[in-house]
């Protein structure tokens, strides 16, 4: 495990975000472009990504269903811990929503896949487990609970009507609709390889491939480096919850399962990922504090280069 090199994938991500920051500084991009990029993600590229993945999920490895439940339970607990901490710190609703998002959900697909491939080169089983855990254990939680949190805390008031409105907006969102459509399409074994559908899914995949690009654009135009010191306390909260407590919450119940060492390593790696980049997109789209979310995502990504090795060394 000590040979795992987490730096290349993380370094590339940081470099791309920094490039977008530089383009914004040059005037080519503007901070005001952030909401537009966020809408493109939530209304186009992310729904395409979700539907494409779920529509092709014909052979789900249900042996990992318990791990998915562990991850979902851990995310729920992390949301609660972040909420309690934010309330104690008297954060505003937009700030509280952003803290909850970055503390509970990880970048399991964008970074997780790359790191699993480095740790287990040419190992189809390991990558398959990572995809299953990411798409169902992390992705579904982010796209459901995460979207709901962003919608709810992005509103000005906290009331029963506000919560009902949040649920209504979520039920009509392209993200939720793409989850329902993708699950139905995949589980009913609808065609994906016939001549017409093959071309249709090729076009859909092309749109989905643009998702990471627009997510990085959203973070880069929102990220402001000034004021980072003032956020040291919130950054510490996000680091402890997402990078340390998250893998611990998944590791403990997984000990009761008959898992091989490599399977546990993949689970730990996926649960120890830094805050999800999509947290910034959801914050920007639904009215939470996107600049705060972008800073916390950036900080957890930097720190994760060391924390991942620490988690794997202690728990792996």
Q: In the 3-class helix/strand/coil scheme, how is the chain assigned residue by residue?
A: CCCCCCHHHHHHHHHHHHHHHHHHHCCCCCHHHHHHHHHHHHHHHHHHHHHHHHHCCCCCCHHHHHHHHHHHHHHHHHHHHHHHHHHHCCCCHHHHHHHHHHHHCECCCCCHHHHHHHHCCCCHHHHHHHHHHHHHHHHHHHHHHHHHHHHHHCCCCCCHHHHHHHHHHHHCCHHHHHHHHHHHHHHCCCCCCCHHHHHHHHHHHHHHHCHHHHHHHHHHHHCCCCCCHHHHHHHHHHHHHHHHHHHHHHHHHHCCCCCCHHHHHHHHHHHCCCECCHHHHHHHHHCCCHHHHHHHHHHHHHHHHHHHHHHHHHHC
Question: What is the C-alpha to C-alpha distance for residues 18 and 223, in angstroms, rounded to an integer?
Answer: 9
Residue 111's pLDDT is what?
A: 64
Question: What is the C-alpha to C-alpha distance for residues 30 and 14, in angstroms, rounded to an integer?
Answer: 19
| pLDDT tens across the length of the chain (316 residues) | 444 555 676 777 788 888 999 999 999 999 889 889 888 988 898 888 878 877 876 555 555 677 788 888 999 999 999 999 999 999 999 999 999 999 999 887 656 655 665 666 666 566 556 666 676 677 778 888 898 899 999 986 666 666 667 667 777 888 888 878 887 887 777 787 788 888 888 898 899 888 888 888 988 888 887 777 778 999 999 999 999 999 999 899 888 887 777 778 878 888 888 898 889 989 988 899 999 999 999 899 889 888 988 888 887 6
Residue 143's pLDDT is what?
A: 81
Residue 61's pLDDT is what?
A: 57
Q: Where are the domains positioned within the chain?
A: 7-315
pTM of this structure: 0.77
Residue 226's pLDDT is what?
A: 77
Residue 218's pLDDT is what?
A: 87
Residue 3's pLDDT is what?
A: 45
Residue 2's pLDDT is what?
A: 43
Residue 310, token pair as written in the block:
């620490």
Q: Which CATH number fits domain 7-315: 3.30.200.20, 3.30.565.10, 1.20.1530.20, 3.50.50.60?
A: 1.20.1530.20
Of 236, 185, 161, nearest in space to 53 by CA: 185
Which residue matches tokens 């627009």? Answer: 214
């Amino acid at each position: 495990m000590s040979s795992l090199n987490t730096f290349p994938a993380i370094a590339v991500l940081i470099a791309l975000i920094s490039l977008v920051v530089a383009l914004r500084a040059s005037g080519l991009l503007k901070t005001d472009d952030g909401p537009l990029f966020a809408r493109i993600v939530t209304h186009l590229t992310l729904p395409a990504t979700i539907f494409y993945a779920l529509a092709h999920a014909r052979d789900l490895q249900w042996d990992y269903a318990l791990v998915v439940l562990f991850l979902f339970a851990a995310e729920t607990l992390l949301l609660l811990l972040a909420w309690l901490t934010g309330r104690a710190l008297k954060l505003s609703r937009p700030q509280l929503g952003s803290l909850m998002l970055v503390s509970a959900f990880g970048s399991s697909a964008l970074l997780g896949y790359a790191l699993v491939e480095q740790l287990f080169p040419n190992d189809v089983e390991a990558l398959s487990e990572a995809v299953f855990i990411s798409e169902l254990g992390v992705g579904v939680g982010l796209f459901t609970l995460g979207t709901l949190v962003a919608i709810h805390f992005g509103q000005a008031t906290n009331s029963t009507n506000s919560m009902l409105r949040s649920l209504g907006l979520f039920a009509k969102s392209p993200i939720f609709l793409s989850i329902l459509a993708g699950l139905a399409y995949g589980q009913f074994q609808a065609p994906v390889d016939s001549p017409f559908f093959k071309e249709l899914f090729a076009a859909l995949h092309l749109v989905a491939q643009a998702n990471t690009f627009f997510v990085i654009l959203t973070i880069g135009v929102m990220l402001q480096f000034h004021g980072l010191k003032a956020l040291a306390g919130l950054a510490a909260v996000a680091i402890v919850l997402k990078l340390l407590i998250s893998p611990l919450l998944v590791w403990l119940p997984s000990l009761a399962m008959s898992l091989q060492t490599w399977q546990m390593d993949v689970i730990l790696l996926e649960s120890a990922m830094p805050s999800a980049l999509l947290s910034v997109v959801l914050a920007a789209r639904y009215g939470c504090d996107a600049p705060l979310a972008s800073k916390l995502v950036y900080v957890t990504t930097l720190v994760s280069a060391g924390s991942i090795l620490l988690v794997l060394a202690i728990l792996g």
